[in-house]
Amino acid sequence: YYHTATLLPNGKVLIAGGQDSSNPTTSAELYDPASGTNGTFSATGPLGTARRLHTATLLPNGKVLLAGGADSGGNPTSSAELYDPASGTFSATGPMGTAHIYHTATLLPNGKVLLAGGLDSGGNPTSSAELYDPASGTFSATGPLGTGRYYHTATLLPNGKVLIAGGYNNGSYLTSAELYDPAAGTFSATGPLGTGRYYHTAT
């Protein structure tokens, strides 16, 4: 549990990381819906770093970016890796400038990935945000958010901006919402929501 599932361009699904009966795991599997009567799972990977509560983002080049999460010690990690469906292997990339858990990852129209908010290595809601550039394999700071938050949502809008909504911060269910503008690299207030919420959905 606390794993990710990512639909690949070849129609298979990458199941990566998460927690087994006791610890974060490096295991990964591919689900092939075309195999057998009801589809079959087969081993792939493994990940270079055990992680749970991470994000997994399909990149335009067909690889999958796995970023952050909790490591084998239960601590937020700044490590990131790429899964290559062609070779079935994971390789290190990044790392992030800030360790993140309970963050969001959003693929932008320019091919970069926005990672926003979450809890940092001190267990505090963070306002930090970063951009991952697949061309260079590096993360760079952007933002920051106006309000540190986790358990929030991040939704790519048709105009290319990203709506960050709700979440949790130090005992409060947030009503605040923000827009990220990739052209400016900044967040600005919008909304707010009528009701504070976290663990919600946004479409």
The half-sphere exposure of 28 on its side-chain side, counting CA atoms within 13 A, is 30
CA pair distance 117, 38, nearest whole angstrom: 38
Cis peptide before 125 (omega within 30 of 0): no
Rounded to 10 degrees, the C-alpha dihedral 30/111/19/129 comes to 180
Per-residue confidence (pLDDT) for residue 203, from 0 to 100: 95
φ, ψ for residue 56, nearest 5 deg: -135, 125
Neighbours of 17 (CB within 10 A): 27
Q: How many CA atoms lie within 13 A of 81 on its CB side?
A: 21
Q: pLDDT tens for the chain, 203 residues: list them.
A: 999 999 999 999 999 999 999 899 999 999 999 998 899 999 999 999 999 999 999 999 999 999 999 999 889 999 999 999 999 999 999 999 999 999 999 999 999 999 999 999 999 999 999 999 999 999 999 999 999 999 999 999 999 999 999 999 999 999 999 999 999 999 999 999 999 999 999 99
Residue 77's Cβ-count burial label (10 Å; 0-12, 13-18, 19+) is: buried
- b/e 131-153 (16+ beta carbons within 10 angstroms → b): bbebeeebbeebbbbebbbbbbb
pTM above 0.75, yes or no: yes
Q: What is the pLDDT of residue 36?
A: 85
pLDDT of residue 16: 98
Tokens representing 72 are: 């084998």
Quick one: which of 94, 27, 16 has its CA closest to 55?
16
